[in-house]
A = this chain, B = another copy of it.
Amino acid sequence: MAGMLVDERDQKFVLFEQLEIDKLSDYELYSEFDKDVYLMVLSEAKKLAENEFMPLNSVGDTEGVVFKDGKVIMPESFHRLWALWNEGEWRGLDIPAEYGGQGMPTVLGMAANEFFEAANLAFQMSVAMPRGGALLIAQHGSDEQRAKYVDKILTGEWSSTMALTEAEAGSDVGATRTIAERNEDGTYSIKGAKVFITCGDMDLAKNIIHLALARVKGAPAGTKGLSLFLVPKYKINSDGSPGEPNDIKVVSVEKKLGLKASPTCQLSFGEENNCTGELIGRENQGMTIFFTMMNESRLIAARHGAGIASSAYIHALEYSRERLQGSQIGKESNRQSPIIKHPDIRRMLTMMKSYTEGVRALIYYSSYCIDRVHVADSKEEKQKWEKRLGFLTPVTKAYGTELSFRVTEAALQVYGGYGYTKDYPIEQFLRDEKVHSIFEGTNGIQALDLAGRKLSRDSNDLYTGLLKDITEFCTEYKEHSGLKAYISILDEAKKALAEASVFLLELQKKDFELFALYANQYLELFGDVIVGWLLLWQAVIAWEKLSSIAGDSNPDNAQLENFVTDNVEAAFYSGKLGAAKFFISNVVSLASAKAAIIRIADRSALQIAENAFVV
């Protein structure tokens, strides 16, 4: 049995047997790495996460952050994690070497970080944000800015935030009111208020660099008039050291449902007209710059949710093996049986297994697309992976976090009444998990991104890309001796998704409101099909491996019971078959009916008069 955080065998399966990421080493960019290096990284991440991060998860939840004298104090024990994280140079793992990172593939960064997020997401938020900040400055800053900030942030000496949201500008970023005024020395004076700033203040780092969106005086309204600024907590001396405090006030720290050890701050910039920032990139480029980070940060949000779900699943699994209740069906015994023997518990565990592994595959595959963009040797090749990533990103974020929440909820259900108590970690998981359907672009925004932006712009890339791959997969395996029934369900579902896509594209031209009403259902259908494909792809691989271990061309689970019990590898592969079959039978099988809902496009939700909801 693996640890309590992540199914490591499954990680390796996706990385090396499904995506074969070791083949990325064939490209110059990743040529210095190999499978052994990747395995070592994963093993180190696991050790650190299990030994250090996990024990402090509930400590963080209980202590929370303290807001005192205008400053945020993190749980004392988090200082050790911060130091260990710095020491391990984890922030730079998948940041290009030219920027001071280790330059490993994004997909490996995703896998390694899964451990930390499964172990202690509240702490992990404090290091995930600066990693993105460092990358953004490295990619878009001037040479001077790179020299000034990137290394300090990557080493953890300083931290950074993403300061986008305002009280009146949440999903509606274009409504940003923070103002920047050009000073004679080239700096800008920043004035405005930001809300929901993760780690907007904290005492783990010596300085905090806020990446703040603001509108230069006289710039156009909406998103196209926004610029991005580096606004340090402490102004920076000419020798690069933190100097006098910038004019940034921590107004308050949110009291939240979960993630209590991750400070969510309201910040006020320039109340005394003395807040100075540096422009990054050019004026009015703010959103363009942020968009270059968008795919990755949305995948990371999905990973945050998936990490918790992974640990919740394993906890529930372990609990179901230990907890005795009722007697097993078909056994006469008066002895109580572990609840894992009960069909309804097995239903929940298999659902959790398939969702967890499906979301993992989805996140890794999407991240792998980023790496394929990086190594592409032609414009066409690069665009192919970019377009694919474009479709997958909103799906991974929204569908992934939705499934992860369902997993966490089911974990609580497996624990029964005990799950509702603070004696077990599940209720914290549920509280920490819930934010992910909102965070980093609500799931509703993701659906509009998928249907309203990606589909309407790149439908052809969908048909000739992802959907074509699925068609080819189904064609190749339609006579598969063990999986053909499932392949056929996936094939039907893919057709339904294609038809729904065509329908929505037409609808969008005729009735945008009605189109927007079904964006969410479309994203769900999209997720069902893609995850179904990824899991069935895994099943095909698992079938082959299992056949080869069993020396049997038709390794049916039922016949292999003893064999599977004795052979861990066989058990793993048979589990992969089970998870795929479950997901296809119970989820993907609904795709045609879900597509029909979209095609029928009932208007009731738009037609209800506003005063008719509750009179």
Pick the contact of A434 from B412, B519, B596 — CB < 8 Å?
A: B412
> Counting CB contacts under 8 A, is A322 at the interface?
no
Separation of A608 and B577 alpha carbons in the complex (Å): 9
> Counting CB contacts under 8 A, is A407 at the interface?
no
Nearest-neighbor residue (CB-CB) of A596 within chain B = B589
Q: Are A413 and B443 in contact (CB under 8 A)?
A: yes
Q: Are B589 and A593 in contact (CB under 8 A)?
A: yes
Contacting residues, chain B, for A571 (C-beta < 8 A): 609, 611-612, 615
Q: Are A611 and B314 in contact (CB under 8 A)?
A: no
> Counting CB contacts under 8 A, is A359 at the interface?
no
> Counting CB contacts under 8 A, is A238 at the interface?
no
Binds B, one of A90-98, A473-481, A561-569: A561-569
- When A168-B324, A334-B221, A520-B344 are in contact, do A609 and B561 touch as well, CB less than 8 Å? yes
Q: Are A517 and B347 in contact (CB under 8 A)?
A: yes
Contacting residues, chain B, for A340 (C-beta < 8 A): 610
Contacting residues, chain B, for A336 (C-beta < 8 A): 168, 172, 175
**Copy count, this protein chain:** 2
Which of A329, A416, A578, A605 has most chain B Cβ within 10 Å? A605
Q: Are B517 and A343 in contact (CB under 8 A)?
A: yes
Contacting residues, chain B, for A430 (C-beta < 8 A): 257, 434
Pick the contact of A607 from B2, B409, B514, B578 — CB < 8 Å?
A: B578
- When A343-B516, A434-B430 are in contact, do A421 and B614 touch as well, CB less than 8 Å? no
Q: Are A610 and B437 in contact (CB under 8 A)?
A: no
Separation of A565 and B169 alpha carbons in the complex (Å): 30
Q: Are A609 and B417 in contact (CB under 8 A)?
A: no
Separation of A40 and B255 alpha carbons in the complex (Å): 40
Give min CB distance, A536 to chain B, whole Å.
Answer: 13
Contacting residues, chain B, for A393 (C-beta < 8 A): none
Pick the contact of A614 from B317, B347, B419, B423 — CB < 8 Å?
A: B317
Contacting residues, chain B, for A577 (C-beta < 8 A): 604
Q: Tally A residues with Cβ within 8 Å of B.
A: 115
> Counting CB contacts under 8 A, is A495 at the interface?
no
> Counting CB contacts under 8 A, is A182 at the interface?
no
Separation of A170 and B579 alpha carbons in the complex (Å): 29
Q: Are A590 and B589 in contact (CB under 8 A)?
A: no
> Counting CB contacts under 8 A, is A349 at the interface?
yes
- When A597-B585, A609-B561 are in contact, do A413 and B438 touch as well, CB less than 8 Å? yes
- When A2-B615, A172-B326, A609-B564 are in contact, do A420 and B435 touch as well, CB less than 8 Å? yes
Q: Are B611 and A513 in contact (CB under 8 A)?
A: no
Separation of A294 and B47 alpha carbons in the complex (Å): 49
- When A437-B413, A586-B597, A609-B575 are in contact, do A343 and B615 touch as well, CB less than 8 Å? no
Contacting residues, chain B, for A611 (C-beta < 8 A): 564-565, 568, 571
Could you list some 21 contacts between A and B, CB below 8 A? A2-B614, A9-B614, A168-B336, A329-B512, A343-B513, A343-B516, A343-B606, A344-B516, A345-B444, A347-B520, A417-B438, A557-B607, A565-B609, A571-B612, A572-B612, A579-B604, A579-B608, A582-B604, A585-B597, A586-B602, A589-B593
